[in-house]
């Protein structure tokens, strides 16, 4: 009976620990994703990783910048990215430049129009363990507001397809 009592205490203790670790609405063995809650200071001064254009609904022209930790990891081919790496994607409306087209004599020039959003990936293998060690952030430029939870929960499932490159799609442009 004494042994049984200890077992119950042990079970209760484990349940309590699991309860503490579990998110309010999640499964005990699956932590709720945490997101980057604020625009990170200084990102506009970071170095260039690459550029990108997305057609379709996104219709964006973008620049992907990295803080020094991320840039060093890219240049040294270090994977996974070390904690402290931050990648920022600055997105703008993909816009035909009438000014440049006049000079070229034909419509061929596309430049950033209004900025639309800024996205971040922040590497912290402890804090963001539930999402591959990356915290995802999305902020609308118009009002500075972050993406809502439903939207934010789409980040990691998509980035999981780039697991081989530590969940990062962007390659470094030389």
Give the footprint of its own copies on this chain (CB under 8 A). 44-48, 50-56, 58, 61-63, 65, 90, 92, 94, 99-100, 102-104, 106-112, 115, 141, 158, 161-162, 169-171, 173-174
Q: Which residues contact 21 (CB under 8 A, 6 or more apart)?
A: 28, 31
Q: Which residues contact 127 (CB under 8 A, 6 or more apart)?
A: 34, 135
Q: Which is nearer to its own copies, 6 or 48 (CB)?
A: 48
Question: Is residue 95 helix, strand or coil?
Answer: strand
Q: Give the shortest CB-164-to-its own copies separation in angstroms.
A: 10
Q: Which is nearer to its own copies, 92 or 134 (CB)?
A: 92
H or E stretch at 2: helix 2-21
Q: Which is nearer to its own copies, 83 or 169 (CB)?
A: 169
| Two structure tokens written together for 87 | 């990648």
DSSP state of 24: T
Q: Give the shortest CB-54-to-its own copies separation in angstroms.
A: 6
Q: Which is nearer to its own copies, 96 or 125 (CB)?
A: 96
Query: Is the separation of the CB atoms in 130 and 153 below 8 Å?
Result: no
Q: Give the shortest CB-70-to-its own copies separation in angstroms.
A: 14
Q: Give the shortest CB-63-to-its own copies separation in angstroms.
A: 5
């Amino acid at each position: 009976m004494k042994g049984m009592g200890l077992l119950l205490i042990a079970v209760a203790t484990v349940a309590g620990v699991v309860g503490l670790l579990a998110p309010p609405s999640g499964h005990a063995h699956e932590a709720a994703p945490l997101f980057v809650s604020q625009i990170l200071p200084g990102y506009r001064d970071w170095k260039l990783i690459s550029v990108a254009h997305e057609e379709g609904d996104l219709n964006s022209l973008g620049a992907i910048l990295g803080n020094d930790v991320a840039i060093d990891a890219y240049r040294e081919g270090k994977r996974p990215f070390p904690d402290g790496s931050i990648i920022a994607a600055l997105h703008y409306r993909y816009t035909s430049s009438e000014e440049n087209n006049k000079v070229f004599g034909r419509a061929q020039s596309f430049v950033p129009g209004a900025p639309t959003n800024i996205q971040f990936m922040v590497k912290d293998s402890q804090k963001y363990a539930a999402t591959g060690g990356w915290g995802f952030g999305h902020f609308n430029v118009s009002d500075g507001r972050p993406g809502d939870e439903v939207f934010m929960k789409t980040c990691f499932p998509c980035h999981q397809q780039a697991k081989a490159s530590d969940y990062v799609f962007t390659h470094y442009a030389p």
